[in-house]
Structure 1
């Protein structure tokens, strides 16, 4: 059976099913009937915007260049803007006559369209993760226990008066809604036009019989918050309602191009740069008489050069009928589309009437590329592709799910600059204009159907829902199948593996030949897939014997990790290891991080008052899932985060290895898909103890030689060995690779970055010994040991062994460094959402002893303490008269569950200026530090806070060498480290952070003093908020001895005698 026959068969069967079920359920509410989801609704079709002729197209210059821009076509009229609005809390209270002429709207409110009404203070958003906010009793909508703070099923009524252009008098006129949550009736001038469901699909109606061109026309819409379709819209997101995507009218001739489909078959023997191209067009005649039309199609470069002009086709279409035409052509010497080179062509359609007069024309972008599966790999233009991406929800802190164009562009640009090549439209089709952005900027797209019955997966196996599944998947494919960025379809998300997916797959296969993905049922998918697996589990899946992992010919399907590296809070540990596995294994083709942006929103009631305060499930009534909606790589406001820096590094397309400081040579491996390294140049910066001393000049930047994808080259980093002069300093060189060509996402974007240690520095913990001339004294009491030297005092509590006081003379008086009496002591407590073990320490003193050195210039103090069932540790202090304190620390862990192994102290709050030499300048952890670099950085304690929606342990910097905390007079303490260490300095304990729910609570929660952590090691952060624990190499071992040295010194000049 041909695809065209199969398509027609499926469509007829679908329509028959709808009519049969509708007839048998006449008394059932449309919004509580899974068989009714479209009444008088147009079939799905590709997006386009008609113009009267070709000349008019190219006058709309911005739209031609940026196809997501609002059109200036005279055949288009936007209905975005203010609408009259009224909301009731249940269907029985909805107005039944507001669509009638003369209805009084004077007491109605106004609301912007597109929008979610909850974001404007009507009813409230709900975040219940993957539960239903109504009873799970399909297809009915009933109040669920606990949700008394919400309407049973709120109904919003919309009204707008619009003047239809007089020039549309002889045209066919359509009303288009980009998205409605969740069901709606539409009236025009009091006449019922139709009914629609499928919140994230397009909704389009022929309103020609109802409108009056040249006059004012009433458009009325009644939207139900919930309907039976809501059972298929159970995605992990804030549930919101309303007309939330663009609304517009457009006009066509009576005979018009209703749909089109562009396909190409490229020849691999010619490098896929030549082949056949086919245009299929569906010519529809809504007139009362037959019509003869001629279709012309030409494909041009963006500069206007023709690459193929198809032979025009003339066809006669009977009244009320539709005919398909097929145009065939050949192309050669084309520039292929890929994520790295998103080359597009202008495809111009034109329709002339029987008199040769052009009546309709439109332009769409098309990219030539070949996508297929071969040898368990996804092949793009003849080469295997590794997918490095993220999942993305429609979310905006101000607009909710009604994201605007600027926000979409920002998301795409940020993704590209983070070296992402893939986006999964989780878990529904995005606005059509966003696919234009994916095409233009180059993002491989996993286009997902609006199908998720997470809370009741039995629905996927109930064939009474089959037509609804098919409708959603088919409309997605018909709309988006011309986009080169779409490399696969996804049947839905987390619905189980019911039989309805077989029908949905068949319907999509009938209209397009792209690969099809569905993680929940491998038998319906061209891929296998799992979510949130360990690397070891991925290895096992790669060699699984599960028969569903094979195609009919016995070959393996590729494995696609549609969700991994759950980014909730302080997260995305060991991303490098995942990406390394993607690149090195035989079958896993990559994955998409969950997810792109935190889904927190500004609280609508406060937003009305001009207050922008982020809210999560905690902030609305009824059952909720707290802040589990905040899983973003970036914040809700699209602020960059340390997580984004790590993603950028892990996804970078060039690997560095084998750096040789003596020869200044390094090996580069090209991991691009289709970019040669000769298209890049290198810049470098040389630093001494983290401070820049030399950088690339214009004449010294390095143009990279030719190196094809998959190959490696050696290059020199010409920083100059003669610059390495200080025998005690550490020298590093950092390189960045930039594109020579201008990219749509910005030429300033570095594709790859790496840092190398040219020479390690010497031990700085001994640096003050040369100034020591004074002798030290002490006073011993029953409970304390007071040690005194030149302008310093240190006091120990002999019972606890902790330093309770450290005073340095600042020139006028002794100043206390530990004002609360809490000097360095063992601290293993950490609170991040990835951690499952959050026990506090119980410290028991085992021994405390001291003696003065024979030369009386230092005091030796030894303390051994046991943190019960966690860690035994010993600190050997050597305290000098000038205030120099050396701590040699030995840790002996007693459990594998330690989250941190180190010391904490409470430092005077006025020491808020921070200077450090460690990895930075942003936060990093042992399993999330490849995207941070050794740097000497100055900041403040407050600036070391992170914007995690739910506050938690934060601010860590790994590979610490040096640290100072000083006041505004530059007085304070400095710390040097020999061996492994990290630090953080905040105005909170981790316990205090754990009790906060919102990032905006941080300012008021700040204490007066600083909590300083110096850790030998913290357990890696892992991915356990929804996924695997920290991998073993980043865990603190449960046995053994671990030593490092930490020195503390005053941070002002000390006199010498």
Structure 2
């Protein structure tokens, strides 16, 4: 066979400069080549000759494309193809290192003049920060070389080729290359020049690279600084009074860098006529007694996995979007990022240094698609690929080594095992022994400093925390992290609080990283946001790409609000005798940056507020704080205190007053249950029964109206539109509840009317609710009473037969007029909550438009439940209805049926009807994380059992 073309051979590239530290803002002139480029798309790699790289080539007939950008996200509809999403599968035949002949190829041209004043002496470097999947480069007709490694930086020396005017930069980019086998990350396949292209002037004799070593000794409070450089130079740090030669070490008193106190010292490296700014953070990373410590303190990762994503621009992010991500993380108590599954744009790490985030910086490596082949041919276990793997390790470490936020290097993700990974780990340790090495896919942990797992159950985490897990003895001596857990797909994830309790109980369990930060819903002309399969892909994995804590437009989801509460670094819990216990859960800082307030609520109404004096507790400390005397309030009111921890001063990421943590402390027992509406006598006439404010159908016993409001379809409700976590993933066990519910017919329950009994003071309706073709059922009795003003419904449910699965929900649903558009309730809020996702729901009086009660998950599913509701009023103008619960209930109100919600594939499929469907739930099944992780914990299962609950309906007239 002939030699393979360059894009299929195993080499990482030719002609590029050695990788080096990335920096910006030096004396070197930087000229951005971002902007409009000439573009031509070909269906195969060899459809067009390379003559386009000649300086005199006529490209007047070409299209224009924006760089940075992905060509599949530009142009008219499908003009340049479309995006494709796969999770594990390669979207091409697996025959490494060969790729298909159908290999979309984008030729790019950029003509430019050097800016006025561009230095004529010295060197010039052409830098590409990200090109998928490979590129061949020419400047002024001369070939510079080629490279692979989509999320890695590559540079070429170009000073000898530049002209003052009319330079021609030509780039040939293939969608597929041998490198594609190393980049099977769970994300969209998006070819193009998606990061910056920059021309840099480097003065003669300037450094090729430098390495800032800045350690911290927590026992002495001193930092040791040494800057290694490949040319002699000097380092100055004015704030510390330092002026020393490169390669020389000095120890001085300093303040350390941490994610909570990101102290940076500004310095300058002067070498070879160039002044390079330094941002120095002193910190030391170590494993001591099986615990990861930074600056001598155990740290707890409250983290997220972060793919780079924008709904319009794919992986091409501007600085403002990156800053928005970091600020949102800080505002939601997130302190760590795993850069899944590749190095991020380098500016993102600058932001992590500045704002304070621990970073696991991950290599651009994943070969997950070989798993389905039994890992046959896996590149990480084939020595022919090792040079390419080492190139990726070097480009990761060399680019990012001067960032104090980076505390762990990660070899890559889901690559199986092999000697190539060992070679990478050895190279990284030799180059940078100051950080830890991470990789999840090898349970032996032979090449890692951390024991890392994805989606273990709570029971497994408990076992590992106790160091009672089976496995190599050396592994049991390692710190444990969950590099992925709590799959944030659709409604969920559930069980976060239980994981966090384990992290805070066991010293070895050092937290984890929720999967993931943002839904990857790309803008779609029909669906609003599309997912896998919406762009005509032949092979795809559906909405599995929509599994983030943010919606695509970066609106926080209920999952992010829940996560913020679960990981809050201050715990505020009830104390004895009118007091509150405050515990500082920060890793490093005390509480001096926070101000505490109290408010006193009676039946959800705030009666008084004030400041609370909490001492500046050190990290890990706690104290009891006495609350003030309760203000006057009705004797029968349900009362409680809400204590909040707020930022005392403005920060770079949030203003003063931003809420960091909160807790509620009951002051008196809950209010008594709603009155039992009795005394009114039912009256039968002309096929109708009147009972207090309600009218019923005399034959069926169904309510037709409550006061002036028509009512339709009231019946026992056990079905919910399965969530992504209900549906589970195909590789999950056979206990995925969504498929089991459908198999057993719970989505098509039949309601048999057995008896309608009219008594002196009540109307009783007895039914049997059961699915077709099954012999189990729910015997259901509805008993209606009234005092003439209010209408009370008592519901008794008794299971019959063998129930092999839990119920999705248990309650009643009914239809009301669509004109009802306002909801006011006393209960938990303001957002949605379910049995295992309710940490962030606080008791109070809340108000919202009915249409604002829903959560628009990209794939429609159960959403919008408000739990612990004492009472609810739905109104429109001058009329409405009030519902009270005995006990408290959960409610959901939406303008389509559960069946319509279940049938929808996109939010745009949901069309409001002429009925408002109100769900009043006695209980719901938990949410869990089984779209990729564990299912619902036993305590949150809604097993079929005898149940009794009551609801009181009262017409509202204003």
- Shorter chain as normaliser: what TM range? over 0.9
Query: What residue number does 2:74 align with?
Result: 120
The answer for the alignment partner of 1:848 in structure 2 is 755
2:460 corresponds in structure 1 to: 537
Distance 1:612 1:624, change over 3 A: closer
Alignment map for 1:672-821 (pairs within 5 Å): 672-696=586-610, 701-718=611-628, 720-723=629-632, 725-746=633-654, 747-763=656-672, 765-766=674-675, 775-779=681-685, 786-789=688-691, 792-795=694-697, 797-798=699-700, 803-809=702-708, 815-818=709-712
CA contact (8 A) 2:211 2:228 kept: yes
Contact 1:50 1:252 in 2 (8 A): no
Are residues 1:1036 and 2:942 paired?
Answer: yes
Query: Distance between the aligned counterparts of 1:262 and 1:1001, measured in 2?
Result: 55
Question: What count of residue pairs does the alignment treat as equivalent?
Answer: 919
Point out the more displaced range, 125-134 or 844-853.
844-853
Question: What residue number does 2:732 align with?
Answer: none
Shift of 1:990: 2.1
1:829 positional shift = 3.7
- What is the Cα deviation at residue 592 of structure 1? 0.2
Distance 2:233 2:47 in 1: 51
Q: Which moved further from structure 2: 615-624 or 742-751?
A: 742-751
C-alpha distance after superposition, 1:253-297 (max 9, x if no partner): 221111111113433321xx20422111112xxxxxxxxxx5110
Q: Which runs of 5+ in 2 are unaligned?
A: 727-736
Contact 1:957 1:982 (C-alpha < 8 Å) held by counterparts: yes
By how many angstroms is 1:775 displaced? 4.7
Residue 59 (structure 2) pairs with residue 91 (structure 1): no
Change (3 A) 1:116 1:689: same
Residues in 2 aligned to 1:92 and 1:77: alpha-carbon distance in whole angstroms: 32
1:789-837 Cα distance to aligned partner (Å, 9 max, x none)? 4654222544xxx51412424xxxxx4232xxx1233333442111133
The corresponding residue for 2:7 is 31
Using structure 1 for the length normalisation, give the TM-score: 0.84
| Counterpart secondary structure, 2:446 | helix
Aligned counterpart, 1:8: none
1:649 matched residue in structure 2: 565
Which of 480, 484, 488 is the equivalent residue of 1:559? 480
In the alignment, what sits opposite 1:1051? 956
Give the alignment partner of residue 838 of structure 2, picking from 926, 929, 933: 929
Query: Post-superposition shift, 1:246?
Result: 0.8
2:730 maps to: none
Instruction: For 1:521-600, list aligned pairs within 5 A.
Output: 521=442, 522-542=445-465, 543=467, 546-548=470-472, 550=474, 556-600=477-521
Check the 8 A contact 1:645/1:932 in 2, yes or no: no
Matched, 1:968 2:889: no
Q: Given that residues 463 and 469 in structure 2 are in contact (C-alpha distance below 8 angstroms), is that contact kept between their aligned partners in structure 1?
A: no
Contact 2:337-2:357 within 8 A present in 1 as well: yes
- Quote the offset at 1:846 in angstroms: 7.3
Correspondence for 1:223 among 158, 164, 173: 173
* SS across alignment from 1:959: strand
Q: Please, which moves more after superposition, 747-756 or 757-766?
A: 757-766
CA 1:102–1:943: 2 relative to 1, 3 Å: same
Match of 2:146 in 1: 195
Shift of 1:755: 2.0
User: Which string of whole-angstrom CA distances, capped at 9 and with x for unpartnered residues, describes residues 203-222 of structure 1?
Assistant: 1111122112x333111111
Please say if residues 648 and 657 of structure 2, whose CA atoms lie closer than 8 Å, have aligned partners that are also in contact: no
Cα gap change, 1:390 to 1:903, in 2 (>3 Å) = same
Superposed, which structure 2 residues align to 1:100-139 within 5 Å?
100-121=54-75, 122-139=80-97
SS of the equivalent of 1:619 reads coil
1:612 to 1:950, Cα distance in 2 relative to 1, 3 A: closer
Shift of 1:1021: 0.6
Alignment partners' CA distance in 2, 1:348 and 1:918: 57
Give the 3 Å change call, closer, same or farther, for CA 28–676 of structure 1 in structure 2.
same
Given that 2:12 and 2:387 are in contact with CA atoms closer than 8 Å, whether structure 1 keeps it comes out as: no
Q: Which digits, 9 at most, give the CA deviation of each residue in 1:839-891, with x for residues without a partner?
A: 324345474353433xxxx3242525343566524434232262522122233
Q: Distance in 1 between matches of 2:389 and 2:473?
A: 24
The reply to whether residue 1017 of structure 1 matches residue 923 of structure 2 is yes
Relative to 1, partners in 2 of residues 1:132 and 1:973: Cα closer, same or farther, differing over 3 Å? same
User: Tell me, what secondary structure is at the counterpart of 1:455?
Assistant: helix
Q: For the aligned residues, what is the CA RMSD? A: 2.1
Distance 1:902 1:841, change over 3 A: farther
Kept after mapping to 2: 8 A contact 1:680/1:704: no
User: CA offsets per residue over residues 220-248 of structure 1, 9 Å max, x none?
Assistant: 11111110000011011111011100111
Q: Encode CA deviations 1:716-760: one digit per residue, 9 max, x unaligned.
A: 333x3233x213322232221023344321233222111233223
Query: 1:15 maps to which residue?
Result: none
Counterpart contact for 1:171–1:252, Cα < 8 Å:
yes
Q: Report the equivalent of 2:256.
A: 336
| Within-5 A mapping of 1:183-582 | 183-212=134-163, 214-270=164-220, 273-283=221-231, 294-300=232-238, 305-310=239-244, 312=245, 326-332=247-253, 334-351=254-271, 359-456=273-370, 457=375, 458-513=378-433, 514-521=435-442, 522-542=445-465, 543=467, 546-548=470-472, 550=474, 556-582=477-503
**Counterpart position of 2:733:** none
Native 8 Å contact 1:779 1:787 kept in 2 = yes
**Larger of the two Rg values belongs to structure:** 1
Q: 1:1017 to 1:789 in 2, by over 3 A?
A: closer
Structure 1 distance, partners of 2:258, 2:327, is: 16
Conserved? CA contact 2:886–2:949, under 8 Å: yes
Distance of aligned partners of 1:640 and 1:80 in 2 relative to their CA distance in 1, 3 Å threshold: same
C-alpha distance 371-26 of structure 1, shift in aligned 2 (>3 A):
farther
Checking the alignment, whether the CA contact within 8 Å between 1:115 and 1:245 is kept in structure 2 is yes
Change (3 A) 1:336 1:964: same
Is the 1:684–1:733 Cα contact (8 Å) retained in structure 2? yes
Alignment-derived partner of residue 619 in structure 1: 534
SS of the residue 1:398 aligns to = coil
Which among 1008, 1020, 1024 is matched to residue 914 of structure 2? Answer: 1008
Give every structure 1 segment of 4 or more consecutive aligned residues whose post-TM-superposition deviation is greater than 6 Å.
Answer: none
Q: How many angstroms does 1:768 deviate by?
A: 6.1
Question: 1:829 touches 1:841 (CA, 8 Å); kept in 2?
Answer: no
Q: Quote how far apart the aligned CAs of 1:547 are.
A: 4.9
Deviations 1:434-481 (A, max 9, x none): 100000011100000000011014222111111111110111011111
* Mapped partners of 1:671, 1:702: distance in 2: 19
- TM-score under structure 2 normalisation? 0.93
- TM-superposed CA distance for 1:250, in Å, is 0.7
1:650 Cα offset (Å): 0.4
Mapped partners of 1:865, 1:965: distance in 2: 30
Q: Quote the Cα distance in structure 2 between the aligned partners of 1:1010 and 1:593.
A: 35
- Could you say if the C-alpha distance between residues 648 and 777 of structure 1 is closer, same or farther in structure 2, counting changes exceeding 3 Å? same
Distance 2:451 2:901 in 1: 40
Contact 1:765 1:886 in 2 (8 A): no
TM-aligned CA distance change 1:78 to 1:104, over 3 Å: same
What is the aligned partner in structure 2 of residue 938 from structure 1?
A: 847
Tell me if the contact between 1:817 and 1:972 (Cα under 8 Å) persists in the aligned partners: no
Which residue does the alignment assign to 1:984? 892
- Relative to 1, partners in 2 of residues 1:139 and 1:548: Cα closer, same or farther, differing over 3 Å? farther
Mapping 1:823-834, distance limit 5 Å:
823-834=714-725
CA distance in 2, matches of 1:633, 1:342: 25
SS at match of 1:529: strand
Match of 2:734 in 1: none
CA distance in 2, matches of 1:1001, 1:658: 46
- Say whether the 8 Å CA contact 1:85–1:108 is kept in structure 2: yes
Q: Distance in 1 between matches of 2:676 and 2:261?
A: 54
Q: Deviations over 1:30-60 (max 9, x none)?
A: 11111x22211111111123644xxxxxxxx
Aligned position for 2:764: 861
Give the whole-Å Cα distance in 2 for the aligned partners of 1:940 and 1:548.
57
Alpha-carbon distance between aligned partners in 1 of 2:759 and 2:271, rounded to the nearest angstrom: 99
> CA separation in 2, counterparts of 1:266 and 1:396?
38
Q: Is the 8 A contact 2:440 2:453 kept in 1?
A: yes
